[in-house]
């Protein structure tokens, strides 16, 4: 019966959790989530909704970059997930200091965050693009690890500038532009003169960060991965 009802209404679920929305609904969701996300940048649910409802141009572009890159294509084929159930955290903890895996676990521990807190996509009307935004969310903590940035407001803003340049996702641009409003003058000065210019230069210079199969590179030193990608050493 449910299927018949769905067909009558003219919509269907493209993947588990998908909520079909019209353009008007997307616009309303985008506006509402933007206001909430600016009011409270730690409302990750609102930031997530904003990313999905405004990513219509950036997401296909990111998918194409992945399709045209051997490692990115491999990721799209295999659809790996970075979660506590899929990543052997104990093994990563045993890796040498300086390796991606060890530093990633250190980042999670130091900042008391878990990869399982990332929201699954709901409003992206394409199953493959839904995976692209999921992947972007799941490698976000790896961006912190690669850029050497904590999860405080300053660190988040720096990572958002890097991601904005890298992905072109409007929510990153918004986060980069409005995130600093809550910072002190001294932090703003450091941000404006050192950190943001470095994040922008690195974002422009680096190859697409979604084209790295991080799960196969846990043993690689963070410094060598930074060099390979083209991320300049942090100031």
Q: Which range has the top average pLDDT, 9-13, 93-97, 114-118?
A: 93-97
The model's pTM: 0.85
Token pair 């692209």 is at which residue?
A: 132
State the pLDDT at residue 41: 63
For 15-33, write each residue's pLDDT tens digit.
888 988 888 888 887 887 7
Burial of 15 (0-12, 13-18, 19+ CB in 10 A): middle
Predicted local distance difference test score (pLDDT) of residue 1: 45
Q: CA angle 208-44-184, nearest 5°?
A: 90
How confident is the model over 73-106, as pLDDT tens digits?
Answer: 999 999 999 999 999 999 999 999 999 999 999 9
pLDDT of residue 33: 77
Radius of gyration of the chain (CA): 18
User: Distance between CA 9 and CA 202 in Å, rounded?
Assistant: 47
DSSP string, the chain: -HHHHHHHHT---SSTT-----HHHHHHHHHHHHHHHHH-TT-HHHHHHHHHHHTTTHHHHHHHHHHTSHHHHHHHHH----STTTS-HHHHHTSPTTBHHHHHHHHHHHTT--GGGSPPP-S-SSHHHHHHHHHHHHTHHHHHHHHT--SSHHHHHHHHHHHHHHH--HHHHHHHHHGGGGS-HHHHHHIIIIIHHHHHHHHHHSPPGGG--GGG-TTSBHHHHHHHHTPPPP-
Question: Does 169 have pLDDT greater than 80?
Answer: yes
Residue 99, CB-side half-sphere exposure with 13 Å CA sphere: 17
Q: Which residue has the higher pLDDT, 31 or 212?
A: 212
Least confident interval from 41-45, 168-172, 175-179, 203-207: 41-45
pLDDT for 9 beyond 60: no
Q: What is the pLDDT of residues 29-62, one digit of tens each?
A: 788 777 777 667 667 777 777 778 777 889 999 9
Between residues 183 and 230, the one the model is more confident about? 230
Cα dist from 17 to 13, 51, 55, 127, 154, whole Å = 8, 16, 18, 11, 33
What was the pLDDT predicted at 10? 52
| Mean pLDDT of all residues belonging to the chain | 88
Instruction: Quote the percentage of the chain above a pLDDT of 70.
Output: 93
pLDDT at 104: 97
The residue that leads in pLDDT, 89 or 5, is 89
Across the range 195-205, mean pLDDT stands at: 95
């Amino acid at each position: 019966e449910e299927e018949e009802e769905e067909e009558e209404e003219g919509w269907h679920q493209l993947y588990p959790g998908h909520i079909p929305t019209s353009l008007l609904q997307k616009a309303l969701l985008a506006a509402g989530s933007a206001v909430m996300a600016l009011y409270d940048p730690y409302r990750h649910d609102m930031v997530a909704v904003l990313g999905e409802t405004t990513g219509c141009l950036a997401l296909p572009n990111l998918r194409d970059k992945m399709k045209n890159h051997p490692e990115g294509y491999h990721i799209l084929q295999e659809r790996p997930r970075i979660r506590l159930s899929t990543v052997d955290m104990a093994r990563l903890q045993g890796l040498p200091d300086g390796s991606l895996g060890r530093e990633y676990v250190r980042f999670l521990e130091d900042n008391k965050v878990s990869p399982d807190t990332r929201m699954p996509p709901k409003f992206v009307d394409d199953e493959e693009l839904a995976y692209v935004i999921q992947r972007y969310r799941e490698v976000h903590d790896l961006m912190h690890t690669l850029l050497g940035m904590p999860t405080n407001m300053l660190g988040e803003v720096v990572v958002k500038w890097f991601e904005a340049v890298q992905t072109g996702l409007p929510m990153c641009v918004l986060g980069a532009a409005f995130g600093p409003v809550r910072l002190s003058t001294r932090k703003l000065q450091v941000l404006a003169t050192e950190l943001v210019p470095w994040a922008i230069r690195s974002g422009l210079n680096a190859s697409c960060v979604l084209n790295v199969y991080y799960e196969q590179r846990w043993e690689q030193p963070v410094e060598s991965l930074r060099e390979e990608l083209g991320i300049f050493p942090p100031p």
